[in-house]
Chain A
Amino acid sequence: GNSVTQMEGPVTLSEEAFLTINCTYTATGYPSLFWYVQYPGEGLQLLLKATKADDKGSNKGFEATYRKETTSFHLEKGSVQVSDSAVYFCALRLGAGSYQLTFGKGTKLSVIP
């Protein structure tokens, strides 16, 4: 079946540190890949996406590259801020008649000043 595996959290970083949150996937077809973010007390917001191999999604200083050879979509940011504290979810969507997003467990990031 389809699945998404994210690195276990929580992750605590100091402000301006480099962030990597690992995400790997298993899928029967060629999925699109997404990172969603959930700030405290809020719903899920799309952070970035990539729809085919070697695509790079980017937004708000975050980046992730769709690596088909390693079935990965790791999230990176060069310099995190306190306001980046949130839970980050990696997800995939197959299309081709399947409408659903399959999520990872989420990784909680806390950035301290």
Chain B
Amino acid sequence: EPEVTQTPSHQVTQMGQEVILRCVPISNHLYFYWYRQILGQKVEFLVSFYNNEISEKSEIFDDQFSVERPDGSNFTLKIRSTKLEDSAMYFCATSGQAFSGNTIYFGEGSWLTVV
């Protein structure tokens, strides 16, 4: 079974600090995503990324968020100045294609706690 790998598994940060969450996608996948799940709430879409650019983003993904593939393998989510309400589980996900029936594979998530 192919795997999406995320680091760190848990991070505690002070409000206002920058955080970078990292993801190693499945090797032949071309589409990358970030989702988040605030405790007790729905899993929410943040952003999708293809061909080194953002292809779709939600209202949650404002100017404090950014994504990149710095070395052609890792896929990162940066939060520039964290807020208390950014505390959530952040899931990286990848897929081989974009059509609706194609499976999206999720990593195990990175717990972010902002204090």
* Contact surface of A with B, Cβ cutoff 8 Å: 30-32, 36, 42-46, 49, 51, 89, 91, 93-96, 98-106
User: Can you list 5 A-B contacts (CB < 8 A)?
Assistant: A32-B100, A43-B91, A96-B100, A105-B42, A106-B42
Known: A43-B91, A44-B106. Contact between A100 and B33, CB under 8 A? Answer: yes
Whole-angstrom distance between the Cβ of A90 and the nearest chain B Cβ: 11
Q: How far is the CA of A33 from the CA of B109 in the complex (A)?
A: 22
Task: Report the minimum CB–CB distance from B4 to chain A (whole Å).
Answer: 8
- A95 to B62 CA separation, bound complex (whole angstroms): 23
The answer on a CB contact under 8 Å between B101 and A45 is: no
Q: Interface residue count for B (Cβ, 8 Å)?
A: 28
B65 contacts chain A at the CB level, 8 A cutoff: no
Question: B56 to A99, Cβ gap below 8 A?
Answer: yes
Q: Is B115 an interface residue (CB 8 A)?
A: no
0/1 interface trace, chain B 29-54, chain A, CB 8 Å (1 if under): 00101010000011111001010000
Output the least CB separation between A66 and chain B (Å). 11
A102 to B106, CA, bound (A): 14
A100 touches B100 (CB 8 A): no
A65 CA to B21 CA in the complex, in Å?
37
User: Are B103 and A46 in contact, CB atoms less than 8 angstroms apart?
Assistant: yes
Flag if B100 contacts A95 (CB, 8 Å). yes
Question: Is A43 in contact with B107, judged by CB distance below 8 angstroms?
Answer: yes
Residue from A44, A95, A99 in contact with B101 in the complex, judged by beta carbons closer than 8 Å: A95
For the complex, what is the distance from the CA of A43 to the CA of B5, rounded to whole Å? Answer: 10
